[in-house]
Structure 1
Amino acid sequence: MNDIKIKVLLAAMLFSSCEKVIDLKLDNAEPIVVIDGGLSDQNENQVVKVSKTYNFTEPNRFNSVTGAKVVLTRPNGSTINYNEVSPGVYQSARFRGVSGTTYLLDVTVDGKTYSAASTMPARVVLDSLTFKQFNFFGKINTYVAVNYQDPPGVENQYRYILKSKGKVEEDMVNEDRFNNGNQVADVIFYKLDDLVPGDSIHVEFQCVDRNVYRYFYSLGQNNGNGGPPVSPANPLSNFNNGALGVFNAYTSSKRTAVIQ
């Protein structure tokens, strides 16, 4: 009888604990400026997006900042002013960045200026995309690999952006610490099983500087890329004055592959 009473008591405790409601009290915080700035080596309109953070309970959206002043400065002191083409989106006239050049981006919001510098690396070309298959626990999965020749004797950092059906499916970074000077075939571990023959995948291959690599690497760690998620923290921005985001001066090489 004593054993039966103990089992009943334990069951009651279990069911009562399952019914407990936890009320999370999340404090609101002052909005923080977020800047997403890119400058490529392609002859195109370069774009900077400016927004602000919002409270956790608000719907997910682009909280645009209008009326900002966005200025890019070259090493010789010449400047390029960006125009606002839609709320929070600022665009330059068409021009291309130059490898080896350090650019300074200043964004002024409500009288406060946020600055970041980025040096465009030397260009490395994405040679091709190939498909690779791996057997995980008896199931064969197909992935795409990026193939390129890493330059010897130079520290390089890379960013891979994989798109399928117009949507970014994977955004990851890598460095050449273990592949310096080698022919590289780096696998992007995004399963292609949902695609059918005739579907295309597109990969943009960027060469980025060290600070930009750290930003995207820390962003990936927060999302659990390459392992379990770490304690949430803001990615390592290269902007000063407390702004979030990144200014990325990069070279770009693109390839497309078709599912057979």
Structure 2
Amino acid sequence: MKIYIRTTILFLAIALASCSDVIDVPVQTAPTRLVVEASIDWEKGTMGNEQTIRLSTSTAFFETTGNTAVTGASVIISNDTSGDEFLFVDQSNGEYTTDDFVPVIGQSYTLQIIHDGETYMAQETLIPVTDITNIYQGREDGFDDEELEVHVEFIDPANEDNYYFIRFKREGDLLPELEVGDDEFIDGNEVDWWYEVQEDEDTDKIDVLQPGDVISIEMYGISSAYYNYMDILIDQIGGVGLFQATPVAVKGNCVNQTNPDNYAHGYFRLTEVNKASYTVE
């Protein structure tokens, strides 16, 4: 009887294994679009004349090969008050560069891109950023009061709307930590913004700041429109579980004047930026 039962189970397992089918799951596709990386960032203490804009095309989700760089486009930024134009030269690798840009705080600029017979335009204002007054480390304000965090202090300018974009990146990490904020509840006050490495919930890897870690810090002054754009984008890439954001098409400010339905991905921003580095002790 035991031999009969074992033989029956063996034949059943073979039958189930031989009846497996390959199921093709259709993957939703989207039209190929122009991707614009037009971040005109004026680092404090520099002339800000050297700037780069990158153009590429979007790809299918599982696409891992192929050159997406866009070449042969016309890229110009103009000062909306003086009419001065800054031509970005095609470097034949998707990058368009200039070494004669003139940044003016509070000035409005217009970006024009002509690609594949269509004209894309965007307008933004160069936003200033306040100075960083102090960078230090501590253990009391993070999610885990036993682990190190890095603090960035600055004074928010009073009686005006201010929006911030801060980028932290630990040396050796693949991706940076991106954060945005506004001064709705901190207008005119000293701000203490802290950065703490979070545990990877997918791998349960314990990863905290250690002495010797080098953190690069970039703090940008941004427009309210770019704040809203980045707030949605960060939610899209950072939400998990119950807090996962519903996927939506995140549109930037580059409008296709020729064919509005063929909109571009990406954003044209103009910001002043503080850059600093801190080594954990």
TM-score, normalised via structure 2 length: 0.77
Which moved further from structure 2: 106-115 or 189-198?
189-198
Deviations 1:204-238 (A, max 9, x none): 11001111111111110101359822111222411
| Residue 96 to residue 228, structure 1, CA distance change in 2 (3 Å) | farther
Query: Higher mean Cα deviation, 123-132 or 21-30?
Result: 21-30
For residue 132 of structure 1, report the CA deviation from its aligned partner.
3.2
Query: How far is 1:195 from its partner?
Result: 4.6
What secondary structure does 1:140 align onto?
A: coil
- The superposition leaves residues 94-143 of structure 1 with CA deviations (integer Å, 9 ceiling, x where unpaired) of 43411110111111110111111111123311222222325889772322
> Which residue number corresponds to residue 169 of structure 1?
176
CA distance in 1, matches of 2:164, 2:178: 11
- Between Structure 1 and Structure 2, the one with more strand by share is 1
1:208 to 212, 216, 222: 222
1:202 and 1:259 map into 2 onto residues whose CA distance is 11
Kindly tell me the number of residue pairs found equivalent between the two proteins.
Answer: 243
Which residue, 247, 252, 261 being the options, matches 1:237?
A: 252
SS at match of 2:229: helix
Q: Which amino acid aligns with 1:93?
A: D
Hey, what does 1:11 align to over in structure 2? none
In structure 2, the residue matched to 1:253 is: 274
Q: What letter matches 2:69 in structure 1?
A: S
Q: Would the alpha carbon gap of residues 22 and 179 (structure 1) be closer, same or farther in structure 2, given more than 3 Å must change? A: farther
Change (3 A) 1:61 1:214: farther
Q: Judge conservation of contact 1:126–1:254 (CA < 8 Å) in 2.
A: no
- Point out 4+ residue stretches in structure 1 off by more than 6 angstroms: 19-22, 135-139
1:197 shift after superposition: 2.4
Q: 2:24 and 2:140 mapped to 1: Cα distance?
A: 44
For 1:63 and 1:101, how far apart are their aligned partners in 2?
33
Deviations 1:152-172 (A, max 9, x none): 111011111112226542122
Q: Which residue of structure 2 aligns with residue 154 of structure 1?
A: 160
- Tell me what 1:110 maps to: 116
Following superposition, the deviation at residue 59 of structure 1 comes to 1.2
Q: 1:216 to 1:62 in 2, by over 3 A?
A: farther
Contact 2:150 2:194 in 1 (8 A): yes
On the 8 A contact 2:130/2:221 being kept in 1, the answer is: yes
In our comparison, the structure showing a higher alpha carbon Rg is 2
Aligned to 2:260: none
Q: 2: CA distance between counterparts of 1:61 and 1:189?
A: 37
Distance verdict in 2 for CA 1:157–1:136, change over 3 Å: closer
Q: What RMSD over aligned residues (CA atoms) do the two structures have, in Å?
A: 2.7
Q: CA deviation at 1:67?
A: 0.9
Q: CA deviation at 1:68?
A: 1.1
Tell me the percent identity.
Answer: 26
Give the 3-state SS of the residue equivalent to 2:147 in structure 1: strand
Distance 1:65 1:156, change over 3 A: same
Following superposition of structure 1 onto structure 2, how do residues 210-225 of structure 1 map, counting pairs within 5 Å?
210-224=224-238
* Alignment partners' CA distance in 1, 2:56 and 2:28: 21
Distance 1:138 1:218, change over 3 A: closer
